[in-house]
Structure 1
Amino acid sequence: MSKIGKAPVTIPAGVTATVDGQTVKVKGPKGALEVTVVDEIGVKLEGGAILFSLNGETNRHKAMWGMSRTLVSNLVEGVTKGFEKKLEINGVGYRAAVQGKSLNLALGYSHDVNYPIPEGIQIVTPKPTEIVVSGIDRQKVGQVAAEIREYRGPEPYKGKGVKYAGEFIFRKEGKKK
Protein backbone atom coordinates (compact mmCIF):
# COMPACT_ATOMS: atom_id res chain seq x y z
CA MET A 1 0.00 0.00 0.00
CA SER A 2 1.44 3.37 -1.02
CA LYS A 3 1.96 5.69 1.92
CA ILE A 4 2.31 8.62 -0.47
CA GLY A 5 -0.73 7.75 -2.60
CA LYS A 6 -3.02 7.43 0.43
CA ALA A 7 -2.40 11.01 1.58
CA PRO A 8 -4.78 13.61 0.12
CA VAL A 9 -3.43 16.80 -1.48
CA THR A 10 -4.90 19.70 0.49
CA ILE A 11 -5.75 22.85 -1.44
CA PRO A 12 -4.53 25.98 0.44
CA ALA A 13 -6.44 29.27 0.56
CA GLY A 14 -6.09 31.34 -2.61
CA VAL A 15 -5.74 28.26 -4.85
CA THR A 16 -8.51 26.80 -6.98
CA ALA A 17 -8.40 23.25 -8.28
CA THR A 18 -10.69 21.49 -10.75
CA VAL A 19 -10.82 17.82 -11.72
CA ASP A 20 -12.21 17.07 -15.18
CA GLY A 21 -11.99 13.33 -15.80
CA GLN A 22 -8.26 12.53 -15.52
CA THR A 23 -7.11 16.17 -15.91
CA VAL A 24 -6.31 18.17 -12.78
CA LYS A 25 -6.07 21.96 -13.20
CA VAL A 26 -4.65 24.17 -10.44
CA LYS A 27 -4.70 27.97 -10.42
CA GLY A 28 -2.97 30.11 -7.81
CA PRO A 29 -1.26 33.45 -7.20
CA LYS A 30 1.83 32.56 -9.29
CA GLY A 31 -0.01 31.07 -12.30
CA ALA A 32 -1.91 28.05 -13.55
CA LEU A 33 -0.77 24.47 -14.23
CA GLU A 34 -2.40 21.23 -15.26
CA VAL A 35 -1.53 17.55 -15.39
CA THR A 36 -3.26 14.50 -16.86
CA VAL A 37 -3.26 11.57 -14.44
CA VAL A 38 -2.86 8.06 -15.87
CA ASP A 39 -5.99 5.93 -16.35
CA GLU A 40 -4.95 3.41 -13.66
CA ILE A 41 -5.67 6.01 -10.95
CA GLY A 42 -9.01 7.52 -9.93
CA VAL A 43 -9.00 11.24 -9.05
CA LYS A 44 -11.71 13.20 -7.22
CA LEU A 45 -12.02 16.57 -5.49
CA GLU A 46 -13.63 16.36 -2.06
CA GLY A 47 -13.91 19.10 0.56
CA GLY A 48 -10.83 21.14 -0.26
CA ALA A 49 -8.61 18.14 -0.98
CA ILE A 50 -7.78 15.96 -3.98
CA LEU A 51 -8.02 12.22 -3.32
CA PHE A 52 -6.46 9.39 -5.33
CA SER A 53 -7.69 5.79 -5.55
CA LEU A 54 -6.54 2.62 -7.26
CA ASN A 55 -8.50 1.18 -10.19
CA GLY A 56 -6.68 -2.17 -9.95
CA GLU A 57 -4.13 -4.12 -7.90
CA THR A 58 -1.19 -4.67 -10.27
CA ASN A 59 2.32 -3.39 -9.56
CA ARG A 60 1.89 -0.67 -12.22
CA HIS A 61 -1.27 0.59 -10.50
CA LYS A 62 0.55 0.83 -7.19
CA ALA A 63 3.55 2.58 -8.77
CA MET A 64 1.38 5.16 -10.54
CA TRP A 65 -0.61 5.87 -7.36
CA GLY A 66 2.18 7.62 -5.47
CA MET A 67 3.57 9.25 -8.63
CA SER A 68 0.18 10.77 -9.55
CA ARG A 69 -0.28 12.18 -6.05
CA THR A 70 3.23 13.70 -6.12
CA LEU A 71 2.65 15.31 -9.54
CA VAL A 72 -0.51 17.03 -8.30
CA SER A 73 1.20 18.03 -5.05
CA ASN A 74 4.00 19.66 -7.10
CA LEU A 75 1.37 21.63 -9.06
CA VAL A 76 -0.13 23.01 -5.86
CA GLU A 77 3.28 23.88 -4.41
CA GLY A 78 4.36 25.48 -7.70
CA VAL A 79 1.42 27.86 -7.97
CA THR A 80 1.76 28.92 -4.32
CA LYS A 81 5.55 29.08 -3.64
CA GLY A 82 7.32 28.15 -6.87
CA PHE A 83 10.53 26.16 -7.28
CA GLU A 84 14.17 27.18 -7.39
CA LYS A 85 17.52 25.54 -8.25
CA LYS A 86 20.88 27.13 -7.54
CA LEU A 87 23.99 26.46 -9.60
CA GLU A 88 27.59 27.37 -8.76
CA ILE A 89 30.40 27.95 -11.25
CA ASN A 90 33.99 27.07 -10.28
CA GLY A 91 37.02 27.84 -12.44
CA VAL A 92 39.31 30.71 -13.38
CA GLY A 93 37.52 32.98 -15.86
CA TYR A 94 34.25 31.03 -15.66
CA ARG A 95 31.27 33.36 -15.29
CA ALA A 96 27.60 33.83 -16.13
CA ALA A 97 25.45 36.85 -16.96
CA VAL A 98 21.84 37.31 -18.06
CA GLN A 99 21.53 39.44 -21.20
CA GLY A 100 17.93 40.03 -22.26
CA LYS A 101 16.27 36.69 -23.01
CA SER A 102 19.46 34.59 -22.85
CA LEU A 103 22.04 33.42 -20.34
CA ASN A 104 25.62 34.13 -21.43
CA LEU A 105 28.13 31.58 -20.05
CA ALA A 106 31.93 31.86 -20.28
CA LEU A 107 33.08 28.32 -19.48
CA GLY A 108 36.60 28.10 -20.84
CA TYR A 109 35.66 27.39 -24.44
CA SER A 110 36.92 29.48 -27.36
CA HIS A 111 33.43 31.03 -27.53
CA ASP A 112 30.75 32.07 -25.07
CA VAL A 113 27.73 29.80 -24.69
CA ASN A 114 24.37 31.54 -25.10
CA TYR A 115 21.47 29.64 -23.52
CA PRO A 116 18.01 30.97 -24.51
CA ILE A 117 15.79 31.25 -21.42
CA PRO A 118 12.57 29.22 -21.96
CA GLU A 119 9.09 30.61 -21.41
CA GLY A 120 7.93 30.42 -17.77
CA ILE A 121 11.47 30.29 -16.33
CA GLN A 122 13.34 33.13 -14.63
CA ILE A 123 17.13 33.06 -14.40
CA VAL A 124 19.03 35.46 -12.12
CA THR A 125 22.78 35.81 -11.59
CA PRO A 126 23.33 37.50 -8.19
CA LYS A 127 27.09 36.95 -8.59
CA PRO A 128 29.05 36.09 -11.76
CA THR A 129 29.68 32.60 -10.33
CA GLU A 130 26.12 31.90 -9.19
CA ILE A 131 22.98 31.09 -11.22
CA VAL A 132 19.45 30.86 -9.76
CA VAL A 133 16.80 29.14 -11.92
CA SER A 134 13.20 29.60 -10.74
CA GLY A 135 9.67 28.98 -11.98
CA ILE A 136 6.34 27.35 -11.12
CA ASP A 137 6.85 24.04 -12.99
CA ARG A 138 9.19 21.75 -11.03
CA GLN A 139 10.04 19.57 -14.04
CA LYS A 140 10.91 22.55 -16.22
CA VAL A 141 13.09 24.18 -13.53
CA GLY A 142 15.04 20.96 -13.04
CA GLN A 143 15.42 20.40 -16.78
CA VAL A 144 16.76 23.93 -17.39
CA ALA A 145 19.23 23.57 -14.51
CA ALA A 146 20.39 20.21 -15.88
CA GLU A 147 20.86 21.66 -19.39
CA ILE A 148 22.97 24.54 -18.02
CA ARG A 149 25.06 22.11 -15.94
CA GLU A 150 25.57 19.91 -19.01
CA TYR A 151 27.57 22.60 -20.85
CA ARG A 152 30.51 22.05 -18.48
CA GLY A 153 29.88 19.54 -15.70
CA PRO A 154 32.25 19.50 -12.74
CA GLU A 155 35.42 17.54 -13.35
CA PRO A 156 36.90 15.35 -10.59
CA TYR A 157 40.50 16.63 -10.50
CA LYS A 158 40.20 20.38 -9.87
CA GLY A 159 36.42 20.64 -9.45
CA LYS A 160 36.07 23.15 -12.31
CA GLY A 161 32.70 23.46 -14.02
CA VAL A 162 29.02 24.06 -13.25
CA LYS A 163 27.54 22.20 -10.26
CA TYR A 164 24.39 22.32 -8.16
CA ALA A 165 24.68 24.26 -4.89
CA GLY A 166 25.51 21.80 -2.13
CA GLU A 167 26.47 19.03 -4.58
CA PHE A 168 29.46 16.94 -3.47
CA ILE A 169 32.03 16.34 -6.20
CA PHE A 170 34.10 13.22 -5.62
CA ARG A 171 37.68 14.36 -6.05
CA LYS A 172 40.44 12.23 -7.59
CA GLU A 173 44.12 12.41 -6.90
CA GLY A 174 46.32 13.50 -9.81
CA LYS A 175 49.12 11.39 -11.21
CA LYS A 176 52.29 11.01 -9.17
CA LYS A 177 55.90 11.42 -10.22
Structure 2
Amino acid sequence: MLVVKFYVTFINLGKTHKDMSRIGKAPIAIPSGVSISVSDKNLLTVKGPKGELTQKVDSDITVKEEDGNIIVSRPTEQKKHKALHGLYRALIQNMVIGVTEGYKTTQELVGVGYRAANNGNTLELTLGFSHPIVFVLPQEVKVTTTAEKGKNPTITLESTDKQLIGQVAAKIRSFRKPEPYKGKGVKFVGEVLRRKAGKSAKK
Protein backbone atom coordinates (compact mmCIF):
# COMPACT_ATOMS: atom_id res chain seq x y z
CA MET A 1 0.00 0.00 0.00
CA LEU A 2 1.38 3.38 -1.01
CA VAL A 3 0.54 6.25 1.37
CA VAL A 4 0.88 9.76 -0.02
CA LYS A 5 0.81 12.97 2.01
CA PHE A 6 0.06 16.33 0.47
CA TYR A 7 2.39 19.32 0.49
CA VAL A 8 1.48 22.80 -0.76
CA THR A 9 3.58 24.56 -3.37
CA PHE A 10 3.06 28.02 -4.85
CA ILE A 11 1.49 28.22 -8.30
CA ASN A 12 2.66 30.74 -10.90
CA LEU A 13 -0.45 32.19 -12.53
CA GLY A 14 1.36 32.49 -15.87
CA LYS A 15 0.35 36.07 -16.69
CA THR A 16 2.57 38.73 -18.28
CA HIS A 17 3.53 41.91 -16.41
CA LYS A 18 1.13 43.90 -18.62
CA ASP A 19 -1.75 41.50 -17.94
CA MET A 20 -1.13 41.51 -14.20
CA SER A 21 -0.89 45.31 -14.09
CA ARG A 22 -4.27 45.65 -15.81
CA ILE A 23 -5.86 43.07 -13.50
CA GLY A 24 -4.46 44.81 -10.42
CA LYS A 25 -6.20 48.12 -11.11
CA ALA A 26 -9.73 46.68 -10.97
CA PRO A 27 -11.47 47.06 -7.57
CA ILE A 28 -12.99 43.96 -5.95
CA ALA A 29 -16.60 44.33 -4.79
CA ILE A 30 -17.19 43.04 -1.26
CA PRO A 31 -20.37 40.91 -1.23
CA SER A 32 -22.88 41.02 1.60
CA GLY A 33 -21.75 38.88 4.53
CA VAL A 34 -18.04 39.23 3.72
CA SER A 35 -15.57 41.16 5.86
CA ILE A 36 -11.88 41.88 5.37
CA SER A 37 -9.09 42.97 7.68
CA VAL A 38 -5.39 43.69 7.17
CA SER A 39 -2.94 43.38 10.06
CA ASP A 40 0.06 45.65 10.58
CA LYS A 41 2.19 42.83 9.10
CA ASN A 42 0.15 42.94 5.87
CA LEU A 43 -1.69 39.70 6.63
CA LEU A 44 -5.06 39.81 4.87
CA THR A 45 -8.04 37.94 6.35
CA VAL A 46 -11.26 37.42 4.40
CA LYS A 47 -14.29 36.00 6.23
CA GLY A 48 -17.56 34.88 4.67
CA PRO A 49 -20.45 32.41 4.88
CA LYS A 50 -18.28 29.44 3.86
CA GLY A 51 -15.27 30.13 6.03
CA GLU A 52 -12.16 32.21 6.51
CA LEU A 53 -8.99 32.57 4.43
CA THR A 54 -5.73 34.38 5.10
CA GLN A 55 -3.03 35.59 2.73
CA LYS A 56 0.33 37.20 3.48
CA VAL A 57 0.70 40.17 1.13
CA ASP A 58 4.06 41.48 -0.02
CA SER A 59 5.09 44.54 2.01
CA ASP A 60 5.28 46.66 -1.16
CA ILE A 61 1.60 46.08 -1.97
CA THR A 62 -1.18 47.97 -0.18
CA VAL A 63 -4.63 46.47 0.42
CA LYS A 64 -7.49 48.56 1.83
CA GLU A 65 -11.28 48.67 1.98
CA GLU A 66 -12.92 51.68 0.36
CA ASP A 67 -16.62 52.30 -0.42
CA GLY A 68 -17.53 48.62 -0.30
CA ASN A 69 -14.59 47.56 -2.45
CA ILE A 70 -11.16 46.06 -1.88
CA ILE A 71 -8.51 48.28 -3.45
CA VAL A 72 -5.06 46.87 -4.23
CA SER A 73 -2.30 49.35 -5.08
CA ARG A 74 1.42 49.37 -5.90
CA PRO A 75 4.13 51.94 -5.11
CA THR A 76 5.83 52.19 -8.53
CA GLU A 77 5.51 51.21 -12.20
CA GLN A 78 8.42 48.76 -11.98
CA LYS A 79 7.81 45.37 -13.61
CA LYS A 80 8.14 43.65 -10.24
CA HIS A 81 5.45 45.82 -8.66
CA LYS A 82 3.14 45.50 -11.67
CA ALA A 83 3.40 41.71 -11.49
CA LEU A 84 2.82 41.61 -7.72
CA HIS A 85 -0.08 44.04 -8.07
CA GLY A 86 -1.98 41.79 -10.46
CA LEU A 87 -1.01 38.62 -8.63
CA TYR A 88 -2.38 39.71 -5.26
CA ARG A 89 -5.48 41.24 -6.79
CA ALA A 90 -6.23 37.86 -8.46
CA LEU A 91 -5.52 35.93 -5.25
CA ILE A 92 -7.79 38.21 -3.21
CA GLN A 93 -10.58 37.91 -5.79
CA ASN A 94 -10.30 34.12 -5.50
CA MET A 95 -10.48 34.41 -1.70
CA VAL A 96 -13.70 36.44 -1.87
CA ILE A 97 -15.29 33.90 -4.23
CA GLY A 98 -14.04 31.06 -2.04
CA VAL A 99 -15.66 32.28 1.18
CA THR A 100 -18.97 33.08 -0.57
CA GLU A 101 -19.45 30.41 -3.26
CA GLY A 102 -16.59 27.97 -2.74
CA TYR A 103 -14.85 25.88 -5.39
CA LYS A 104 -15.74 22.41 -6.62
CA THR A 105 -14.18 20.01 -9.10
CA THR A 106 -15.05 16.44 -10.08
CA GLN A 107 -12.78 13.77 -11.53
CA GLU A 108 -13.65 10.35 -12.91
CA LEU A 109 -11.70 7.10 -12.98
CA VAL A 110 -11.65 5.49 -16.42
CA GLY A 111 -10.50 1.88 -16.42
CA VAL A 112 -11.67 -1.64 -15.64
CA GLY A 113 -11.47 -2.30 -11.91
CA TYR A 114 -10.59 1.30 -11.04
CA ARG A 115 -12.15 2.34 -7.74
CA ALA A 116 -12.16 5.24 -5.29
CA ALA A 117 -13.32 5.33 -1.67
CA ASN A 118 -12.82 7.76 1.16
CA ASN A 119 -12.90 7.71 4.94
CA GLY A 120 -13.08 11.36 5.91
CA ASN A 121 -10.16 13.08 4.20
CA THR A 122 -8.30 9.86 3.48
CA LEU A 123 -8.77 8.76 -0.13
CA GLU A 124 -8.02 5.20 -1.28
CA LEU A 125 -7.56 4.61 -4.99
CA THR A 126 -7.36 1.38 -6.97
CA LEU A 127 -5.81 2.30 -10.31
CA GLY A 128 -4.54 -0.93 -11.81
CA PHE A 129 -1.33 -1.14 -9.79
CA SER A 130 -0.35 -4.07 -7.58
CA HIS A 131 -1.25 -1.98 -4.52
CA PRO A 132 -3.87 0.64 -3.61
CA ILE A 133 -2.84 4.28 -3.23
CA VAL A 134 -3.82 5.99 0.03
CA PHE A 135 -3.81 9.78 -0.24
CA VAL A 136 -4.30 11.99 2.83
CA LEU A 137 -5.90 15.28 1.78
CA PRO A 138 -5.48 18.57 3.65
CA GLN A 139 -8.32 19.37 6.05
CA GLU A 140 -9.26 22.44 3.99
CA VAL A 141 -10.43 20.20 1.15
CA LYS A 142 -13.56 18.05 1.46
CA VAL A 143 -13.65 14.87 -0.62
CA THR A 144 -16.57 12.61 -1.58
CA THR A 145 -16.57 9.56 -3.84
CA THR A 146 -19.31 7.82 -5.80
CA ALA A 147 -19.56 4.39 -7.40
CA GLU A 148 -22.68 3.76 -9.47
CA LYS A 149 -23.23 0.65 -11.53
CA GLY A 150 -22.55 1.28 -15.21
CA LYS A 151 -20.77 4.58 -14.56
CA ASN A 152 -17.17 5.56 -13.92
CA PRO A 153 -16.31 6.10 -10.23
CA THR A 154 -15.98 9.80 -9.38
CA ILE A 155 -14.07 11.93 -6.90
CA THR A 156 -15.50 15.33 -5.95
CA LEU A 157 -13.41 17.96 -4.18
CA GLU A 158 -14.77 21.08 -2.47
CA SER A 159 -12.87 23.92 -0.80
CA THR A 160 -12.83 27.65 -0.20
CA ASP A 161 -9.22 27.75 -1.43
CA LYS A 162 -8.96 27.76 -5.23
CA GLN A 163 -5.20 27.28 -5.36
CA LEU A 164 -5.26 24.41 -2.88
CA ILE A 165 -8.12 22.52 -4.54
CA GLY A 166 -6.33 22.84 -7.88
CA GLN A 167 -3.13 21.41 -6.44
CA VAL A 168 -4.94 18.51 -4.78
CA ALA A 169 -6.83 17.67 -7.98
CA ALA A 170 -3.59 17.78 -9.99
CA LYS A 171 -1.93 15.44 -7.48
CA ILE A 172 -4.78 12.92 -7.71
CA ARG A 173 -4.64 13.06 -11.52
CA SER A 174 -0.87 12.44 -11.42
CA PHE A 175 -1.37 9.01 -9.81
CA ARG A 176 -2.64 7.69 -13.15
CA LYS A 177 -2.65 10.30 -15.90
CA PRO A 178 -4.99 9.45 -18.79
CA GLU A 179 -3.12 7.50 -21.44
CA PRO A 180 -3.54 8.77 -25.02
CA TYR A 181 -4.89 5.61 -26.67
CA LYS A 182 -7.92 4.46 -24.68
CA GLY A 183 -8.08 7.37 -22.23
CA LYS A 184 -7.64 5.15 -19.18
CA GLY A 185 -6.69 7.00 -16.01
CA VAL A 186 -7.90 9.84 -13.79
CA LYS A 187 -9.48 12.69 -15.74
CA PHE A 188 -11.62 15.72 -15.00
CA VAL A 189 -15.29 15.35 -15.86
CA GLY A 190 -15.74 17.07 -19.21
CA GLU A 191 -12.00 17.03 -19.96
CA VAL A 192 -11.25 16.53 -23.66
CA LEU A 193 -8.22 14.33 -24.20
CA ARG A 194 -5.99 14.29 -27.25
CA ARG A 195 -6.27 10.71 -28.40
CA LYS A 196 -3.74 8.81 -30.49
CA ALA A 197 -4.63 6.07 -32.93
CA GLY A 198 -3.40 2.64 -31.89
CA LYS A 199 -0.66 1.02 -33.93
CA SER A 200 -2.08 -1.36 -36.50
CA ALA A 201 -0.79 -4.91 -36.51
CA LYS A 202 1.74 -5.76 -39.21
CA LYS A 203 0.45 -8.01 -41.95
- 1:104-129 deviation per Cα after TM superposition (whole angstroms, max 9, x unaligned): 11100111111113211110113361
1:138 to 144, 162, 176: 162
1:119 matched residue in structure 2: 139
Shift of 1:160: 0.3
Whether the aligned pair in 2 keeps the contact of 1:40 and 1:56 (CA below 8 Å) is: no
Shift of 1:102: 1.2
TM-score by length of 2: 0.82
1:109 matched residue in structure 2: 129
Return the structure number with greater relative CO, CA threshold 8 A, min gap 6.
Answer: 2
Whether the aligned pair in 1 keeps the contact of 2:121 and 2:139 (CA below 8 Å) is: no
Shift of 1:101: 3.6
Which amino acid letter does the alignment assign opposite residue 131 of structure 2? Answer: H
1:150 to 145, 166, 174: 174
- 1:69-97 deviation per Cα after TM superposition (whole angstroms, max 9, x unaligned): 01111111111111111111111111111
- In terms of mean alpha carbon deviation, does 145-154 or 13-22 score higher? 13-22
TM-score by length of 1: 0.93
1:7 matched residue in structure 2: 26
1:19 matched residue in structure 2: 38
Shift of 1:11: 1.0
Shift of 1:40: 3.0
Q: Give % identity.
A: 47
List alignment gaps of at least 5 residues for structure 2. 1-17
Secondary structure of residue in 1 paired with 2:168? helix
Secondary structure of residue in 1 paired with 2:113? coil
Secondary structure of residue in 2 paired with 1:76? helix
CA distance in 2, matches of 1:72, 1:101: 26
Which amino acid letter does the alignment assign opposite residue 10 of structure 1? Answer: A
List alignment gaps of at least 5 residues for structure 1. none
Shift of 1:65: 1.2
Q: CA RMSD in A?
A: 1.5
Secondary structure of residue in 2 paired with 1:38? coil
